[in-house]
Structure 1
Amino acid sequence: MTKIFEMPLYPYTRTADQDAAAPVRHTAMIVGAGPVGLAAAIDLAEQGVPVVVLDDNDRVSFGSRAICFAKRQLEILDRLGCGQPMVDKGVVWNLGKVFFGDRRVYDFNLLPEEGHHRPAFINLQQYHLEDRLVARVRDLQRQGAEIELRGGNRVQAVDDLGDRVRLGIDTPEGPYTVETDWLIACDGAGSPIRSMLDLDFVGRVFEDNFLIADVVMEAEFPTERWFWFDPPFNPGQSALLHKQPDGVWRIDLQLGWDIDKEEEKTPERVIPRLRQMLGDEVAFELEWVSIYTFQCRRMERFRHNRVIFAGDSAHQVSPFGARGANSGIQDADNLAWKLGLVIQGRAPEGLLDSYDAERIAAADENILNSTRSTDFITPKSEISRLFRDAVLDLSEHYDFARPLVNSGRLSLPSVYDGSPLNADDALEGGPARTRPGAPCPDAPAGEGYLLDRLGGAFTILTLDAEAPERVSEAGIDAARVALSAGDDPTGALAERYLGAARSAIYLIRPDQHVAGRWPAYDEARIRAAIRRATGQE
């Protein structure tokens, strides 16, 4: 049977741009048809912005690569019209277990509260995610959206011309040149675009290597995240086990620093290591093997005039914690609505500076958490190791020690505290989790869920409060979503959005982050908040 990652999904075809007498100028172009580039393209297309995606490949990524997709990213994919297929295909999990040696020291639940449409995480191979994103692109094309995927198009040169960007592109039929008003670089950790612009990362590379293997096997392990410190099958190191769809399991084994990477990827080295872990009685096949080194780095700035970087091209973190693809999808979620408004002339170009402000802060938060995880997983001194092992021993019996165990703080959505787009917080007694800058937590709302009703536009959310059905300010329309605490008999809606307040009004951004909140409708403050959230004040 043909595997999904062997099938060309967007094969090279000649375009009219290649036969034009002068470079054709496009509105927006994206380099990289991975999860981040495709998510950004879909978001722009849904806003009516013409977009072209370039990739030197013509199919989904080989190997599962990213596999853990968090609840917030599933909610973003819902807004983009492709969340449900991911959940249907993915392996849903909320429970994790931590082992020290051969002892289970404790369990944790990543979604201990009810009232959310989506689970804490699903495990899904990246190639399945990309396949479904490409299918969404095809849906949009059939609906008349101006979104184009060009496989076999390798960018060879980038020139910033001030008011536009010129790209030199190579194809199987030779080179051609195009121009674009805006370029989004989603071309991965080794970003050729970043190199062509002579830009680099700042940060830290850790002296350790991990074997990552996708293994096809029939096993009785439960659908949980299992992490071992100093396991008997990999003494002095660590290990991780995750279940994926289609009988594929992800195994990570720490190897140390001084290794021959190419030799360690050979079946002759990998298979004995896996047999030590799984036992001789378990039959398995290798689907994909790689070696990775922990890196926690980012660009100093993500926006360089009309070239904007997102995902791994802008920042890198270690894999433990599922912060790579998840943070990249949040980049696209943050950028696309802003760029759409700028392109449509409904917001000033300066709005894009808030992408830098918000997503650099998010990257720093991810790098901090990833660095702490790496230091705990791979202690660099004997004192650090003694401390780590003492924490693990205590965590088996004492609750206070468990928050100190760091096997990879799992991805959570970023809160944009201090964002220049945040309006005032005038809701006395309002919950901290829905303060300005925070992503909207889901909650039951009538027969469905809140986030499905918010959609992807500016929204005025009212809870037991009166307000106009629509407010139009500075080219922005904000429609009202009217709810009452009684719409949710579980109490989750009131707990998450009212707190100690009796009524509330929220201004919600298109990426479903809170822009401002008040106890009652105040037209002047709402209008000012809309202007501020769109960079007009």
Structure 2
Amino acid sequence: MLQSHQNPVYEFVHSSDQDAPTPVHHPVIIVGAGPVGMAAGLDAAKQGIAALILDDNNTVSIGSRAVCYAKRALEVLDRLGCGQRMVDKGITWNLGKVFFRDDQVYSFNLLPEADHERPAFINLQQYYLEEYMVDQINQQETVELRWKSRVTQVEEKANHVQIQVETPEGEYTLTCDYLLVGDGANSGIRKMMGLESSGQVFQDRFLIADVVMETDFPPERWFWFDPPFHKGGSTLLHRQADNVWRIDFQLGWDADPEEEKKPENVIPRLKAMLGEETEFELEWTSVYTFQCRRMEKFRHGRLLFIGDAAHQVSPFGARGANSGIQDTDNLLWKVKLVLDGKAPDTLLDSYDEERVYAADENLLNSTRSTDFITPKSPVSNTFRNATLLLAEEYPFARTLVNSGRLSLPSVYHSSSLNTADEDEFDSNMVPGTPSTDAPVNESDWFLRVIGNNRFNGLFFAEQDGTISEANRNLLTTLANSDDIAINILIVGLTADQTLPNGMVRLADNKGLLTERFDGKPGTFYLFRPDQHIAARWRALDQQKIAAALNRATGRS
């Protein structure tokens, strides 16, 4: 039982599906009501997909799970309706410090360039995010969450998936077009289907100790290598909400997990670190082992694996929940187009293509972090310590220090959905990149404007602040298409110019949107519904835009 938080209990509710004479069909069924499964459900609701979430538990996560949420995940959560509550409750931080033995080696600031709505990171206990998601789901008409509902059997048919659901009132059968599997690292469905997740298990153990204490420590990420209070190991300190501090101690592979979790063994470690006089209450302890692994493929016919069920990384670097939320951000708009008949089923192969690439990027960074934090040979340890000593004085060495490369969104450089540049741009907003943010209008943000679950087009008005008749007609056609309409945003249009039909005027009062996109007059960007850039040109061309839209929807 936690001292700072009491978990809600969600009751099992009888469903009319249980009484139906034949299996009831749902377009999308999601297994698992963790952050990733519920993100998928909320995204489905935003896309207009009727979805059902099944979970075998009746509460949110207990104890210390995910802690750090990165800027990109917060931007996705904004679109899903949970971002502001996260930021309001969480601990915002941008500064990290690295210590070696008695000395601070250096500090780093993760704050991005000015004028972004969201910070680099916030810290918040996972159970709060899950509660906010449950609240948000309960406000939706097209998504339902059923507790105490365990999937015991999965069978893929020619044109649907059939599942068996076990409840306190017995079993019943359901069918769906697509089954999204988000039932965690030890996925029962993955095992049920005979699928494997392979990779590396690191031979080391870490102790998590969550403590409640009043302290004047700043809300920063502090990481120690070989500190005097924990000789030979490493330690990490993070602040969470409610004056809860998460502390990780490296234990070594030979440590006995059950012994190390006992309060009589944890409290002396904490006092050695915090000081004998520091008052604290021990709230939660657990011991974990690093694992970096993934499934070979995330798509298996009509089964799509998301989050830890698909890929698992070590906790240093905040890549678990953050990457899982980005999985669903990538997937649901594609499912929507396929269900609506506006894209072929093969579009879903691009989920596998793009998110396997992202997972490999995360696994590489996570493995490198783990190797640096826990060197496995005397030579590796000597190199690591020499790097830390050099980093105190020499900036070049700081790039070699790896206490957990922190989560950044993946850029899908080689995605088959991209249309390659054919023009020169002085901007890193290349096709495949998630869009940057900038202030627009009086008090709005660009990512909020394009967080509408649609394709968006950004057009920078011509030199004199007008739109030529030919461009006006083309933009009107794009905005009012019977196929896939593009939400058109226009920057730089003078006040005396009327807005073309079906378009939105954006005021770039600080000029930052134009600067960040190198928005020379006549420039046009095409954004996917997940806010990744699909294509960009220096001039409008109807055939090129149509071809890029076909490519981005898997129709080329």
Question: With structure 1 as the length reference, what TM-score do the two structures score?
Answer: 0.96
Amino acid at match of 1:36: V
Q: Secondary structure at the match of 2:258?
A: helix
Alignment pair present for 1:203 and 2:199: yes
Alignment pair present for 1:438 and 2:433: yes
Match of 1:88 in 2: 88
Structure 1 residue 484, shift from structure 2 partner = 3.5
Match of 1:464 in 2: 461
Farther-moved stretch of structure 1 (488-497 vs 333-342): 488-497
Match of 1:479 in 2: 487
Alignment pair present for 1:493 and 2:513: yes
Match of 1:165 in 2: 161
Match of 2:533 in 1: 514
Match of 1:360 in 2: 356
Structure 1 residue 470, shift from structure 2 partner = 5.5
Farther-moved stretch of structure 1 (489-498 vs 128-137): 489-498
Aligned length: 530
CA distance in 2 between partners of 1:350 and 1:164 (Å):
15
Structure 1 residue 353, shift from structure 2 partner = 0.2
Name stretches of at least 5 consecutive residues in structure 1 with no aligned partner: none
CA distance in 2 between partners of 1:421 and 1:376 (Å):
36
CA distance in 1 between partners of 2:120 and 2:334 (Å):
27
Structure 1 residue 35, shift from structure 2 partner = 0.7
- CA RMSD in angstroms, aligned pairs only: 1.7
Match of 2:7 in 1: 6
CA distance in 1 between partners of 2:263 and 2:314 (Å):
24
Structure 1 residue 57, shift from structure 2 partner = 0.9
Amino acid at match of 2:448: D
CA distance in 2 between partners of 1:470 and 1:497 (Å):
24
Amino acid at match of 1:227: F
CA distance in 2 between partners of 1:2 and 1:106 (Å):
35
Alignment pair present for 1:45 and 2:33: no
CA distance in 2 between partners of 1:245 and 1:3 (Å):
9
Q: Secondary structure at the match of 1:404?
A: coil
Judge conservation of contact 1:470–1:478 (CA < 8 Å) in 2: no
Judge conservation of contact 1:338–1:351 (CA < 8 Å) in 2: yes
- Which residues of 2 match residues 66-145 of structure 1 at below 5 A? 66-140=66-140, 145=141
Change (3 A) 1:43 1:423: same
Residue of 284, 287, 310 corresponding to 1:288: 284
CA distance in 1 between partners of 2:149 and 2:11 (Å):
10
Match of 1:525 in 2: 544
Farther-moved stretch of structure 1 (358-367 vs 53-62): 53-62
Residue of 309, 314, 320 corresponding to 1:313: 309
CA distance in 2 between partners of 1:217 and 1:482 (Å):
51
Alignment pair present for 1:428 and 2:424: yes
Match of 1:254 in 2: 250
- Which residues of 2 match residues 201-350 of structure 1 at below 5 A? 201-350=197-346
- Which residues of 2 match residues 13-28 of structure 1 at below 5 A? 13-28=13-28
Structure 1 residue 287, shift from structure 2 partner = 1.9
CA distance in 2 between partners of 1:251 and 1:27 (Å):
43
Judge conservation of contact 2:138–2:144 (CA < 8 Å) in 1: no
Farther-moved stretch of structure 1 (19-28 vs 297-306): 19-28
Structure 1 residue 260, shift from structure 2 partner = 1.3
CA distance in 2 between partners of 1:182 and 1:112 (Å):
38
Q: Secondary structure at the match of 1:481?
A: strand
Q: Secondary structure at the match of 2:139?
A: helix
CA distance in 2 between partners of 1:2 and 1:389 (Å):
39
Match of 2:502 in 1: none
Deviation per CA, 1:51-86: give whole Å up to 9, x if none: 000001111100130010000011111111221111
Structure 1 residue 502, shift from structure 2 partner = 5.1
Q: Secondary structure at the match of 2:376?
A: coil
CA distance in 2 between partners of 1:363 and 1:275 (Å):
38
Judge conservation of contact 1:5–1:59 (CA < 8 Å) in 2: no
Deviation per CA, 1:194-236: give whole Å up to 9, x if none: 0100111121111111111211111111010000011111111
Alignment pair present for 1:504 and 2:523: yes
Judge conservation of contact 1:213–1:289 (CA < 8 Å) in 2: yes
CA distance in 1 between partners of 2:273 and 2:152 (Å):
44
Q: Secondary structure at the match of 2:287?
A: strand
CA distance in 1 between partners of 2:106 and 2:398 (Å):
8
Judge conservation of contact 1:186–1:309 (CA < 8 Å) in 2: yes
Name stretches of at least 5 consecutive residues in structure 2 with no aligned partner: 494-505
Q: Secondary structure at the match of 2:92?
A: strand
Change (3 A) 1:282 1:126: same
Deviation per CA, 1:372-426: give whole Å up to 9, x if none: 1011111111111111111111111111111111000000000001101001213
Deviation per CA, 1:310-360: give whole Å up to 9, x if none: 000000001000000000000010001111111121111000000000000
Judge conservation of contact 1:453–1:481 (CA < 8 Å) in 2: no
Structure 1 residue 494, shift from structure 2 partner = 3.0
Amino acid at match of 1:134: V
Amino acid at match of 1:302: F
Farther-moved stretch of structure 1 (467-476 vs 302-311): 467-476
- Which residues of 2 match residues 186-197 of structure 1 at below 5 A? 186-197=182-193
CA distance in 1 between partners of 2:242 and 2:477 (Å):
47
Structure 1 residue 446, shift from structure 2 partner = 2.9
Q: Secondary structure at the match of 1:183?
A: strand
Residue of 412, 415, 425 corresponding to 2:411: 415
Deviation per CA, 1:110-150: give whole Å up to 9, x if none: 0142020100000011000011111111222xxxx221110
Percent of aligned pairs sharing the same letter: 58
Judge conservation of contact 2:29–2:52 (CA < 8 Å) in 1: yes
Structure 1 residue 503, shift from structure 2 partner = 4.6
Judge conservation of contact 1:473–1:531 (CA < 8 Å) in 2: no
Match of 2:142 in 1: 146
Following TM superposition, the consecutive aligned residue runs of length 4 or more in structure 1 with deviations greater than 3 angstroms are 1-5, 464-467, 484-492
CA distance in 2 between partners of 1:32 and 1:470 (Å):
42
Judge conservation of contact 2:42–2:80 (CA < 8 Å) in 1: yes
CA distance in 1 between partners of 2:249 and 2:538 (Å):
52
Judge conservation of contact 1:497–1:504 (CA < 8 Å) in 2: no
Amino acid at match of 2:277: E
CA distance in 1 between partners of 2:539 and 2:121 (Å):
36
Match of 2:33 in 1: 33
CA distance in 2 between partners of 1:252 and 1:484 (Å):
51
Judge conservation of contact 1:4–1:127 (CA < 8 Å) in 2: no
Structure 1 residue 281, shift from structure 2 partner = 1.1
